[in-house]
Amino acid sequence: MQSNLTQKHITEPQRSLPIRAECDVLVVGGGPAGISAAIAASRNGAETVLVERYGGLGGLATGGLIILLLSLDDGTGDQVIAGQCQELVDRLDARGSIVYPKQDEWGNQNADLVARYNQWGLIWGRNPSVVRYSVAYDPEEFRFVVNEMVLSAGVKLLFHAWGARAIMDNDRIDAVAIESKSGREAIKAKIVIDASGDGDIFVSAGVPFESEKVHPWLWFRMAGVRDVDQAVASGGNRFFKTLPGEGRILAPWGSMGRIDRQISAVDVEDLSYAEIECRRMVMEEVERLRSEIPGFENAFLTDIASQLGITESRRMIGAHQLSREEANTLNDHVVARTGNWTKAGMLYNIPYGCLYPREVSNLLVAGRCISVDHRVHHSTKEIPACFATGEAAGTAAALSVRLNTRPSALDVGKLQDTLVHQGASLGL
């Protein structure tokens, strides 16, 4: 089989596409950012369609088994992410399906408290270690709750539909071509939000971007562990307690230092290689745990993430590219905030310009592919931050439709007022 396809091309005949839907706002990607973008757009009155390539919502927050919200605070006891992310926590809490420190514990450096939440994977920073407002959850509960949130908001949800490319009309996206078992179709939208994590839509629309190669991760869970507290304490932080039920652990397994090279998460050969190698190595790790860690003798694997853990791929270069030097500085155009999950006291005010490009007039971007530099991405890629930028992008899209304006021309003050009214935390 020829593996290098770069030299040869075939020309696809032009064809007309059936229009599957026409809407105000189309969101591509149903991860944390796309979920909150779609809910925000729909709650603000926009007819909204959400397309997701897999059969469930959550992206890495479910399919990647990345089942820790890190973090909704800044590490000094102040909550900096609220809005829909807080609503999600409240709904999960009402179902008794999360573990997290209560408000009076945030920012605490008490060694016993730190140790207790460390066991659940909720504390990552060192010197000093501080209790954060972070949340451990079960992915099936997350899926159930976000399905309810999305559907009750009135979003039209299309699963098993892949956002293939933007169909341009000069500087605007006229429609997005989707691929599914129904064939190749088009969805026309006034505003498109790219929440694909990898920027699939903005790349096809010609927006400039930066990209990184990464070591892939493949988190997994085991059950049947005897005396989990003891096992976790002796495991050197290579696994954590997890929900649901007793005797379960979550292993944040990664290929760093074991796989021979970093991969591009937008290269199909690299992805295939990583899927095969990581799955093989996870089975080795399961055997190692069973044979070396006391308490694992009768433990068994329950699930391996269905998606590779990809920390980073493409990032848009938008109207504003947030840089590390802007940490802990104010920004008049803030539409979302996030702390840093390893550094207590670090705060980014994310300005609206990080969510739209200069080149395309009806496109917004949310989640891990927004316009930030590599070091800021470490913070803005986290699930709560993706909820926050998704909520900002969805709200901006709906307001733009209502006011018949381009997102870049939207009055940022009006956007901020709407976000704060919805419960977002902007520090204003």
Ligand X SMILES: Cc1cc2nc3c(=O)[nH]c(=O)nc-3n(C[C@H](O)[C@H](O)[C@H](O)COP(=O)(O)OP(=O)(O)OC[C@H]3O[C@@H](n4cnc5c(N)ncnc54)[C@H](O)[C@@H]3O)c2cc1C
Give the integer Cα–Cα distance in Å for 336 and 321. Answer: 14
Half-sphere exposure of 123 (CA within 13 A, CB side): 26
Could you say whether residue 25 binds ligand X (CB under 6 A)? no
Give the integer Cα–Cα distance in Å for 381 and 169. Answer: 31
Could you say whether residue 357 binds ligand X (CB under 6 A)? no
Half-sphere exposure of 253 (CA within 13 A, CB side): 27
Q: Which is nearer to ligand X, 250 or 293 (CB)?
A: 250
Window 365 to 424, contacts with ligand X (CB under 6 A):
367-368, 381-384, 386
* Interaction mask 45-64, ligand X, x per CB under 6 A: ------xxxx----xxx--x
Could you say whether residue 125 binds ligand X (CB under 6 A)? no
Give the integer Cα–Cα distance in Å for 109 and 328. Answer: 22
Among 309, 339, 353, 357, binds ligand X (CB under 6 A): 309
Give yes or no for a contact between 100 and 94, defined as CB atoms under 8 angstroms apart: no
Give the integer Cα–Cα distance in Å for 44 and 271. Answer: 37
Residue nearest to ligand X (CB): 31
Give yes or no for a contact between 80 and 347, defined as CB atoms under 8 angstroms apart: yes
Tell the smallest beta-carbon distance from residue 331 to ligand X (Å): 21
Helix axes 412-422, 383-402, angle to 10 degrees: 120
User: Which tokens hold the place of 58?
Assistant: 């959550």
Q: Which is nearer to ligand X, 295 or 372 (CB)?
A: 372
Could you say whether residue 195 binds ligand X (CB under 6 A)? yes
Sign of CA dihedral 392, 72, 55, 63: positive
Could you say whether residue 335 binds ligand X (CB under 6 A)? no
Among 46, 69, 265, 336, binds ligand X (CB under 6 A): 69
Give the integer Cα–Cα distance in Å for 29 and 157. Answer: 11
* Interaction mask 262-301, ligand X, x per CB under 6 A: ----------------------------------------
Q: Which is nearer to ligand X, 70 or 123 (CB)?
A: 70
User: Which tokens hold the place of 200?
Assistant: 């699939």
Among 73, 87, 200, 391, binds ligand X (CB under 6 A): 200
Interacting residue ranges for ligand X, rule: CB under 6 A: 28-34, 51-54, 59-61, 64, 66, 68-70, 162-163, 195-198, 200, 217, 309-311, 367-368, 381-384, 386
